[in-house]
A and B are shown apart, each in its own frame.
Chain A
Amino acid sequence: MNYSNSNYITVFEQWEDQKKFFCFTEKDAENLQKLHTISAQSCDEVVESLYDHLLQFEDVRIFLSNPEMIKRLKESQKQYFLEMTAGDYGEAYYEKRINIGITHKRLGIPPRLYMGAYSYYVQLMLPKIYNHVDFDQKQAQELFLTFFKIINLDQELAISAYVHAVESVVMQQAEEIIAMSTPIMQIWDGIVVAPVIGTLDGQRTQQFMEQLLNQIVETKSTIALIDITGVPQIDTATAQHLIDTINAVRLLGSNVIITGIRPIIAQTLVHLGINLKEIITKPSMGAGLKVALDMLSIKTS
Chain B
Amino acid sequence: MVQPLNYLKESASQTAGPYVHIGCTPNFTGITGVYDKDLGSGPMATEKTRGERITIKGRVIDGSGTPLRDAMIEIWQADADGFYNSPSETRGKADPNFFGWGRCPADMVTGEFYFETIKPGTVPFNDGRPMAPHVTLWIVARGINIGLQTRMYFSDEEEANAKDPVLTRIEHRVRVPTLIGQRDGDIVTFDIHLQGEHETIFFDI
Tell me, yes or no, whether A binds B.
no
- Which residues of B approach A to under 8 Å, CB–CB? none
- Which residues of A approach B to under 8 Å, CB–CB? none
